[in-house]
Structure 1
Amino acid sequence: MKSETDSTRSPLTLGWEFFKIGCVAFGGFMAVISVIEDVFVRKLGWIKQEEMLDGVSLANVLPGPQAVNTVTYVGYTCGGRKGALASFVGILTPTYILVTGLTFLYFEYAQGVPSIESFFTGLVLAVVAVIFNVVWRMQGKCLQGPLTWGLALMAAASVLTIPTDWKLRATLGVLALAALLGSRVFRTTPDPVPAVAGDKGGSVLPLVALPLLLSGLYLLDLPIPKDGLIHVAITFAGLSVLLFGGGYVFIPMIMHVVVEQEGWLTLGQFNDGIAMSQVTPGPIVISAAFIGQKVLMEQGALWGIVGGLVATLAIFGPPALLMVAASQMLERVKGSGRVQGALKGARAAIVGMIAAAGVTILLSEVGGGDPVGGVDPMRAAQSFGILILSLLALVRFKLPVVMVIPAAGGLGLLLL
C-alpha cells in the first residue's frame, strides 16, 4: 500500500501541479523558477530550497530550455523518472495548446493576435513580485557571510551589465567560479552517499545516447523529404542539444535554419512566431510548435497539429533526457564534501542571478518596452502600484501565485 507521501507525489499529481504553473508561466526562465519554488518549496514542501537551486545550476550548464530542464529535475527529484515525464508533459501542455490554436488562426485567416499588451504587462509585474519574494526567502538560507553575498552580487552584476553577446559566457564563468570557490571554502566532511534505487535508479546510458544519436542524424543531413515529419523531428532534436544559454540563443540559430536553410518560413512569419511565443505562457522555444505546424499543415490541419507536437517534443525532449541523467548522477555524488561546498557556492550565485532577472524585467515593463521614447511617469506609477499590490497579496495575505498573477493581468488591462 502506498504511503500518503507516495500518493501525494504521484506522477498524476506532479503533472497537474506543473500544468497549473504552465498556465501562468510568463516572464522568462528565472520568473518560472520563482513560481516553481513558491509552489514546490514553500507551499507543498516536496523539495528543499537547496535541491531547487541545484536543479537551476544543472539547467544552466546543460543544453536546452532552462525552465523545462529545471521542471524535469524537480519532477525527477519528487517522483523519479515517471515524475520527470509527468512534470515535462504538464508544464508544456498549456502553452502548446495555446500556440497550436493561435497558429491555426494565424495561417487560416491571416490575422495577427489581438493586442493585449496591457494584460500581459500586468501578468509580468506580478511575476516580478514573485521573483522578489522568492529572492527574499532564499537569501536567508543561501547568503550567510561576506563570501556568499559577494558571489551573489557578482552574479547579479554580470546579468545586469555584461552585453548580450557575452552574457552566456559570463553566466557560465560566474557559476564555475562560484562552484570552485565553494568547493574549497565551504567544503564539508563527506557524508555516506546513499544508493540510488527504485524509479531513480537504472542506467543513464540510454538517456545520454538518444540525444547524441539524434544530433548525429541532424549533422549527417540525410536524403529525406525536407517537408516531412521525420526531417522536422531530426532538425529540432539536433538543434536542441546545441541550445546552450537559454531560449533567446535559439532565435538566431533557428532563424538561419528555418528561414534561410530550409525555407520553411518567411522572415515575417518567423518574427510573428517568436512574437506569439512571447504573448503565451511558457518558454520562447515553444515557437518550434508554430514552425512544425506550419511545415506540415499544407498536408491538412490534422497533420499540422502532429507537426507542431513532434517539433515540440523534439526541441524539449532530448535536453530533458540529459537532465534526468545529470540529476541521477548528481544524487550519486552530492554527498561528497567537496561537491556540497561547490553547490553552496553555486546557490549563492543563482540567488544573485534571480534577483537581477527580476530587476531587468521590471525596468523593461516600467519603460513600456520603449527605451527610446523614455518612461511615461503615469505608466510607471501604475506599474509600481500593481507590483506593490502583488507583493502585498503574496507576502501579507499569502495568496497563491496562480491567483495573484491573473488578477494582476486584470489590473493591467484596466490601468495600463
Structure 2
Amino acid sequence: MHGYSNRTNGRITSQMGIENNTHGEHHSYLYNQHLVQERMSMENSGDGQQQQQQDLAERAYLVQVNGYDSLATPKDLNLPRPLSISDFAPAPMHGSTLRVAYQGVPGAYSEAAACKAYPECEPVPCEQFEAAFQAVELWLADRAVLPVENSLGGSIHRNYDLLLRHRLHIVGEVQLPVHHCLLAMPGVSKADLRRVISHPQALAQCEHTLTRLGLSVAREAVDDTAGAAQFIAENNLRDTAAIASNRAAEIYGMNILANGIQDDAGNVTRFVMLAREPIIPRVDRPFKTSIVFAKEEATGSLFKVLSAFAFRDINLTKIESRPQRKKPLRIVDDNNSGKSQYFEYLFYIDFEASMADKRAQNALAELQEFTSFLRVLGSYPMDVTPLVGSPPL
C-alpha cells in the first residue's frame, strides 16, 4: 500500500527507546527538554540565525538511559535516528515526509489510518499509545494517530484518559472500515488450531463468527492485531491463529484461513490525528469539535449544559460520561498546567460545529457557568469520506 514504511525492526517504546527485534538489544535515549523550548523561541523570533542553529546543534547531546553518555550512533539503529537540528523543525511542508506515530507494528489498523489521513507519510511504530504521544511531544514525530471509538466495541476509554494527561490537540479524524482475517502459518488448517490471539476489541468483534466457524478454542488477548500475527510468525506457532488485517498476512507470510470474519460488515473504527499545535478552525467546510468537562453538582446542571447546544441548533454526535475513580486523574488544563484532580463524572462531547462559529463560541461560554472543568480537545475537519465500497485492509 502506498505510503507505508518498510522499516519493521524497530519501534518507539514508552520510554522513548527503540526496540531492536533482530539483535534483542534495547537502545533508549532521552534528550534535554530545554532544547525544544530554545528551538521554539528561535522560530517565534523569525527565521533565526544560522549561527544560533549551529550552536544549538553543537550543544545537543543524547544520554543513554542505562547510565552512561554516548554520542555514538548504534550501527543497527534505524528508527528513529539520533536527533539533529532538523528534528526540531516545524511540521514538514510540501516536499518533506510527515512522520506519523502509531501504536503497534507494521500491518496494524492504526498504520492504515495514518496512511489514509496522510498518504505520503512515514509511519512510526510505537510500543504503546503513551509512546505515540511522547513521540510527538519530543519532536520525534509530527503527528500521532489514536483510535478512540469503534462501531461495535464502543469508546476506547484509556485513550481518552491519555488525551487529558497530555497537551496534544486533535487536528483531524479518520473513519476506517475494519476487515478482520483469521491468519495462520502456511500449512495450518482450522482443525489444527488450539487458540486464537488478537487485540481484545478484535476478539470481541469476531466472537460469533469464530463460533460459526466451529472454533471453540481458547482466545487470548494481546496488545495489537498485527503484533499477534508477528508473534505467531516469529515463533512458528502451528496451533495458534491471529485475528489481523490482510496486510499483516502479507507482511508476516501467513495464510488467510477466513476473510471478513467481523460479526458486523459495517465495522468501523474512528481515529483522531494529534499534533503539538491546534489548526485554525474554519467555517467553509464541515468541522467537528471535541470537548471534555466536569459539571457542577446541582439539580438540572446536565440539562443546562446540553441546552446550550440545543438552543443553538448544534448537533451532538457523541456524549459519554465517565464515573469518578478511587484515585485522582492527572490532567492538563487549558492553561497548560498539569495537576491531579478528583471528578465525580467526566463528560466527553463531540459536536458538529467549528470553534470559528459564533454559535459554538457562545455555547462554550454558557457551558463555563455550569462546569468546574472544561477543555477543548480540538476543532478539526470532519471525515466525510463515504465508507461504502472501501477495500479490505
Could you tell me the TM-score, scaled by structure 1's length? 0.25
Q: Which has the larger radius of gyration?
A: 2
Higher share in helix: 1
Could you tell me the TM-score, scaled by structure 2's length? 0.26
Structure of greater relative contact order (alpha carbons < 8 Å, 6+ residues apart): 1
